[in-house]
Structure 1
Amino acid sequence: MSTTRPLSRTLLKVCGATTPQDIEAAAAAGADCVGLWHGVPGGPSELDRNGLAALAAAARSTGLLPVLVTFLSDAGELAAIAAHTGVGWVQLHAYQPPALVRALREALPADVGIVKVLHVQENGGCVERPLIGAYDRAGTDLFLLDTATGDGRIGSTGAALAPDRVTALLPRLTRPFLLAGGLTPANRPAYEDVVHHPGFRGIDVDTAARTTTGGFGVPQIAALARAWRTGTGTRHAPLPDHPRLELSR
């Protein structure tokens, strides 16, 4: 499928909500999607299954799309979690193989999207580079480019991706993508070439969405929305009823 048809706006996903207050801040500030961690051992934003279900329901009630962010690699378990919690996307944030994506696509309803993270190292390497085509064929709807630090950390590291490292990978992508990795309002101009790529769909932010006390902040998220052209700090219309189909066109 072609990746050249843009969505009506750039998506803003804020990641790592742990409280209803985080959901309220994300919705009030103009986010579109909220990442909810489950199956991320030792993760600072980890939720148990009941907590995940509660925050997913709160997100849906505000018009936000809840996204399961996980290191889990059992398709049956992930499908059961998605059914129980009502998440709209499953984001595979570890090094899950294409076979897991294929099994998960078969197990999930058609309107639940699969996001596969591609880990871009600080030296420009990408472990998944040889597998990008296989991930596409297996049923990935959306890629997410994020930083893998030199000490092996992945996910919400706050470490920025060098723009030239991102643009070097873009010709290999066969699906639309979100950009993550230390994004702020201030560094938006550095990614001009990335933002204008036909496959660009939006950004995924954790650190820059937070206040000094650690929760999501309305001014912080609204500033991201303005800088990255996701809005003006006011709520957008809800996402399509079938986000997987919309994103994969």
Structure 2
Amino acid sequence: MRTRAKICGITRPQDIDAAIQAGADAIGLVFFEPSPRYVDIATAQTLVKKIPPYVSIVGLFVNATADEISAVLQAVPLDILQLHGDETPLQCQHIAAVTHRRWYKAIQVKPDLDLIEAISQYQQAGASAILLDAWHPELKGGTGHQFDWEKFPKLDIPIILAGGLKPENIEQAIHTTEAYAVDVSGGVESAKGIKDQQLIEQFMQGVQRGSAK
């Protein structure tokens, strides 16, 4: 099965077009104001109109309440929630119960983290997948850093690889981790929040090559 790919942090309609044309499976919209890739409701509504069927719309939230996420959902038809903050398994369950959306949890791979135990807790709470990202003491994603891919676990829940991915390393990343899906943001940008069509195309070509072997 081909590794799935999400282009995250899109802020412009032309970048939606580039991602779709290159074969992306999912588009990520960031609803976290401190992020340079943040989109407001009006911008998100404009962007999702360009996303065709069979391409998933993912909303990224950081420590948002169920009510805050529900307010976004009333205006933007998100398919799945990416919870990218310090949400506990219980908080994730509550968000799912209120919003009636599938969700997956982003976990930063800290040096002292019991990764298998952390994944298990969110899996038991109902996560559809787990996203593993590089740890940064201040940033929540979009760091451009990567963790040790040799530590990537093989479990009975889809695991998404993020952190430091770019056209030059995506093929090797897929070979090393055998991830269910990959998630890229900064690795296909010319500036923060500004995607580069050529980099997106090269990234997706790398995903195809990595999946073929």
User: In which range does the TM-score fall when normalised by the shorter chain?
Assistant: 0.7 to 0.9
Pair 1:140-2:127 in alignment: yes
Structure number with the bigger relative contact order (C-alpha 8 A, sep ≥ 6) is: 1
- What amino acid sits opposite 1:116 in the alignment? K
Size of the aligned set, in residue pairs, is: 210
TM-score (norm 1): 0.75
- What amino acid sits opposite 1:193 in the alignment? T
Deviations 1:109-131 (A, max 9, x none): 3xx4202001013xx33376543
- What amino acid sits opposite 1:113 in the alignment? R
Residue in 2 that maps onto 1:113: 102
Rate the CA distance shift 1:138–1:228 in 2: closer, same or farther, 3 A.
same
Q: 2:177 aligns with which of 166, 173, 194?
A: 194
Shift of 1:108: 3.0
Q: Which runs of 4+ in 1 moved over 6 A?
A: none
Q: 2:65 aligns with which of 70, 74, 87?
A: 74
* Contact 2:9/2:193 (<8 A) preserved: no
Residue in 2 that maps onto 1:18: 11
Q: 2:79 aligns with which of 62, 83, 88?
A: 88
- Name the stretch that deviates more: 216-225 or 15-24: 216-225
Pair 1:183-2:183 in alignment: no
Shift of 1:204: 0.3
Q: 2:27 aligns with which of 27, 34, 48?
A: 34
SS in structure 2 of the partner of residue 58 of structure 1:
coil
Q: Using the alignment, how far apart are the partners of 2:125 and 2:26 within structure 1?
A: 24
Rate the CA distance shift 1:128–1:229 in 2: closer, same or farther, 3 A.
same
- Structure 1 residue ranges without an equivalent (≥5): 1-7, 233-249
Shift of 1:62: 6.8
* Contact 1:53/1:85 (<8 A) preserved: yes
Residue in 2 that maps onto 1:242: none
CA RMSD of aligned residues (A): 2.5
- What amino acid sits opposite 2:130 in the alignment? F
Between the aligned residues of both structures, percent identity stands at 27
Q: 1:162 aligns with which of 114, 127, 148?
A: 148
Rate the CA distance shift 1:83–1:158 in 2: closer, same or farther, 3 A.
same
- What amino acid sits opposite 1:178 in the alignment? I
TM-score (norm 2): 0.86
Pair 1:56-2:70 in alignment: no
Q: Using the alignment, how far apart are the partners of 1:213 and 1:95 within structure 2?
A: 23
Shift of 1:141: 0.4
SS in structure 2 of the partner of residue 135 of structure 1:
helix
